[in-house]
Chains A and B, each alone.
Chain A
């Protein structure tokens, strides 16, 4: 079955997730389509360096996040308005009210890019900590720490209060609830 699927088919299959990741990471609908386009082009150009039967999605996400951070660093240097991204919100979703969707997106954009990326890969995309660490080029422990910090910050944003300190036994609870 999989043998008949071309590389192009596999790329097309991955586009919805690439768009969701790009949009959530950049907070900008238009930019996210440009990022996905760039990712598809790079993936095609370098498709010989993809190891067959390895995780194509993780490989594509790596290209996308590297493309984004290259752009992000450039735009930081040019001192672009950081808030422009959060304001360029997309259409209201069916599952969340418009306000909830916007609030979530704005809260995400107030996280540091590292923390935002970690939370998206683990919580939204459902990557394992190992795969997510590989995508970001960081240690697994760093990934876990970023996800926890990002969650704490988001909860602060949503409740207006810092989360209460949890006991040492809570680690397992958080771990087991982070799976999909």
Chain B
């Protein structure tokens, strides 16, 4: 009897969820500004805590709380054991709460300078920001940094929560002074509207209800502001041009070929004329397929599968765009980049970038400048370090569909990935395409060494490893090649094995033959340098004259001699191929170090003492030298 009644309630409840909508926002501020306490209180006040969670909170407050046994709301939010012990927030935490008016997802982001990358992470998916500051401290470097990042990431709705007002006797003067200072800074960096709220998160003043302690304040409470921030993004996205980002080609059988992806903006309708970008091919939307049946249209945000009327070239990363307003295509941009990793993002080095649903080769030019977040001054920069914000021209190795970041988060952002460690090194936002790339007309080039090298993104060079047999040349050369390869450099190793068995198989080990052998290797290296490669030569090459001859075959700055210096007794003890033993027994004539001389290099670019450094360190020294020389 009662069941249909309840049934109706659930339907109504689901309908109600549609009405309230969702706001994703971030909280940020300096260490100890009270972010976690504020969020804990919002959760507590919105009555979303269960009894058992409250019990854990009470117990934890007594055990590790910082409030003398009283409820420590920060403990609700600081979930990780490590940070409970340290008493700080170390990562982004996503928290959920709801009121009758709205549902919220809060990204709680840390205030420590070294964790700015996490704030950028939280901000990238947020529509509003609450920046906290301590009323006793006012606007600090961190406050400015966070405001700047919030603005950079395109967040339009900002509140400054001036917290701990109880500790300055709820002084209106203090509040006004901080508000004024912050508003001035905010307008400088393009944040048009700021709500300033006087707060005591610990005592609950102006969090959910207006406080008697601040009778002079007539604005909204913090929760009131969050509930009423007008969200314009949905409408903007809906009125944009139709764009569907293809993530996956759906081929269950030979009859069906669909393109699965998400509508990034606008409305895609059955019968719409679309263009597959990048490219010129056009077709018509024949079907919009979902498991619940075909649709006539898919609006922004929907994940669907599209079937086209024609067989055109579409793959992962293609943007299906309204043919009368297709997405732009370019491969070079000016971008803002935030350093996200302890390893710097280095100009000229080959990385990967993920944009939309494509992962492509990426290099950045030398930064035009980096931004001092405190003063907004432009400072010179050689690379982009952790937590730094820089502006640089960047190059993708293929043209990609894009939008300027201010128009589209989805097609205007990219992440930079390290080929070796897979770490996310940078977060990029496209300012605009460089003109020479937007209008793709290839300039006729004379294809020479320079042009070939430019295509590879490095300078060609010969890296010549010399040293006794068993010194460790090949080991180090191999490690260097791995590092260079991981950076996207085009390398080739010439060593005894691949030369003696072919090109020089007619040669023995007399001095004359050795010289001839080295001559051939030097010539081959020189040809490979013309082809634009980085050639790693690993040969005993005992004579200075031949090494000099090899050097002279290439241009200045293209030869890097690496002396792998291992004392004879050490090399002989290692004897990896048993050659010293044979030579000592007289079974091997003219063996360098035993009965043939080795001339120590006088002016090697790199001198590695293998009794002091391991092969990894040696390889790193060589790579560093190549960087100094401008090869990579």
**Are A and B physically bound partners?**
no
